């Protein structure tokens, strides 16, 4: 049996990524990032359970410049993974699989996650009065 | 020529035995996570800059506590299933792949339990 002409899965170093490949790899990267980030969620909840001092420490960490940058990154990762996850679920249901639709929904997801991230942080600063 | 038995082909489960189940639960948890995270992010926004007492009262209130317990359980179940697929794609040394998958599952369950315990502690004021 001939085995050398089988299709290969996209090889990241030589495959030209576009509006199909980048969303796919971003979905995976945001999924892994969110998995790591979920440790912070548990830490935050544990700090609340431990009392005011532990909570103040957590808030100081999250409120620092680096903390804010990391939280901003996680906000985008969450929105991207959430929106693109919905896109995946729609595909799994058998819809939106025409190539024009796939390319259009990729752009919708990218724009929506940037807009939602910026909107979220605007609201946080307005509500928080910082 | 296929080496698979007719029974194996009829079951259609492949070598992992539970591929369809894994796929289905990953989607089921994804569907549940959409409303849970929209609700949670909204809650975080509305408590931006709030003091400790206000935040603790929110986390410990019955509706929030129940939804947060669900969010934690479903998140870690989804994350652990997702990470398994990532390992299966990139790690080709069998023992390393298995070790990574098992370790990730254990850590995920420990984190889920710790998070749920923290929420309950706030709710019941322990
Ligand atoms: C907020 C709502 C979420 C939705 C709608 C969602 C949806 C999905 C879907 C549909 C997949 C399968 C993708 C595929 O077919 O390849 C997936 C994979 C994954 N998700 Fe989520 N997810 C959500 C939240 C999360 C969170 C909070 C985490 C981590 C704590 C997470 C971690 C992962 C990981 C690690 C994968 C595997 C990535 C891969 O195989 O490329 N997800 N998600």
Candidate of A24, A78, A83, A85 to mutate for ligand 1, largest count of ligand atoms within 8 Å of Cβ: A85
Task: Please give the residue range of the domain that contains residue A99.
Answer: 21-128
Full pLDDT tens readout for chain A, 130 residues: 666 777 776 676 667 778 889 999 999 999 999 999 999 999 999 999 999 999 999 999 999 999 999 999 999 999 999 999 999 999 999 999 999 999 999 999 999 999 999 999 999 999 987 5
Whether A89 is covered by a domain: the verdict is yes
List the Cα angle A26/A40/B70 in 5-degree steps.
85
How many beta-carbon pairs below 8 A join chains A and B?
82
CB A27 less than 6 A from any atom of ligand 1: yes
Whether A3 is covered by a domain: the verdict is no
> What b/e sequence results for B24-43 when a residue is b if at least 16 CB atoms lie within 10 Å of its CB, and e otherwise?
eebbebbebbeebbeebbee
Whether A4 is covered by a domain: the verdict is no
Whether A9 is covered by a domain: the verdict is no
The alpha-carbon radius of gyration of chain A (Å, integer) is: 19
Distance A84 CA to ligand 1 centre (A): 9
Q: What is the pLDDT of residue B115?
A: 98
Question: In chain A, what residues touch B26 (CB-CB under 8 Å)?
Answer: none
pTM reported for the whole predicted model: 0.89
Predicted-complex ipTM score = 0.89
At residue A53, the 3 state secondary structure works out as helix
Listed by start position, the domains of chain B span: 19-123
DSSP string, chain B: ---S-HHHHHHT-TTTS-HHHHHHHHHHHHHHHHHHHHHHHHHHHHTTT--HHHHHHHHHSHHHHHHHHHHHHHHHHHHHHHHHHHHHHH--SHHHHHHHHHHHHHHHHHHHHHHHHHHHHHHHT-
Q: Write down the CATH number for the domain with range B19-123.
A: 1.20.1300.10
Spatial separation of the C-alpha atoms in residues A82 and A87, rounded to whole Å: 9
CATH code, A87: 1.20.1300.10
Residue B118, pLDDT > 80, answer yes
DSSP string, A64-109: SHHHHHHHHHHHHHHHHHHHHHHHHHHHHTT-S-SHHHHHHHHHHH
How does residue B11 score in pLDDT terms, banded at 50, 70 and 90? low
CB A28 less than 6 A from any atom of ligand 1: yes
Output phi, psi for A3, to 5 deg.
-125, -5
Whether A16 is covered by a domain: the verdict is no
Question: In chain B, what residues touch A32 (CB-CB under 8 Å)?
Answer: 83, 86
Q: What is the pLDDT of residue B15?
A: 59
From residue B50, give the alpha-carbon distance in Å to each of A120, B14, B45, B53, B111: 16, 52, 10, 8, 26
Structural domain count of chain A: 1
Residue B1, pLDDT > 90, answer no
């Amino acid at each position: 049996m001939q085995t050398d002409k089988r299709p290969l899965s996209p090889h990241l170093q030589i495959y030209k990524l576009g509006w199909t490949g980048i969303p796919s790899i971003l979905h995976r990267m945001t999924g892994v990032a969110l998995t790591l980030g979920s440790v912070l969620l548990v830490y935050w909840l544990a700090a609340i359970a431990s009392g005011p001092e532990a909570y103040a420490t957590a808030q100081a960490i999250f409120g620092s410049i680096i903390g804010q940058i990391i939280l901003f990154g996680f906000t985008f990762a969450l929105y991207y993974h959430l929106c693109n996850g919905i896109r995946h679920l729609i595909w799994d249901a058998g819809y939106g699989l025409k190539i024009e639709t796939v390319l259009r929904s990729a752009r919708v997801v990218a724009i929506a996650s940037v807009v939602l991230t910026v909107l979220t942080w605007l609201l946080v600063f307005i509500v928080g009065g910082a | 020529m296929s080496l698979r038995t007719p029974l194996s082909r009829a079951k259609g489960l492949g070598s992992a035995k539970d591929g369809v189940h894994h796929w289905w639960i990953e989607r089921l948890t994804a569907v549940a996570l959409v409303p849970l995270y929209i609700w949670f992010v909204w809650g975080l926004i509305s408590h931006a800059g709030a003091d400790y007492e206000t935040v603790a009262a929110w986390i410990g209130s019955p509706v929030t506590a129940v939804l947060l317990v669900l969010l934690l359980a479903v998140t870690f179940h989804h994350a652990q299933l997702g990470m398994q697929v990532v390992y299966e794609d990139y790690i080709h040394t069998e023992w390393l792949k298995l070790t990574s998958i098992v370790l990730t599952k254990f850590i995920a369950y420990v984190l889920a339990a710790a998070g749920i315990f923290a929420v309950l502690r706030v709710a019941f004021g322990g």
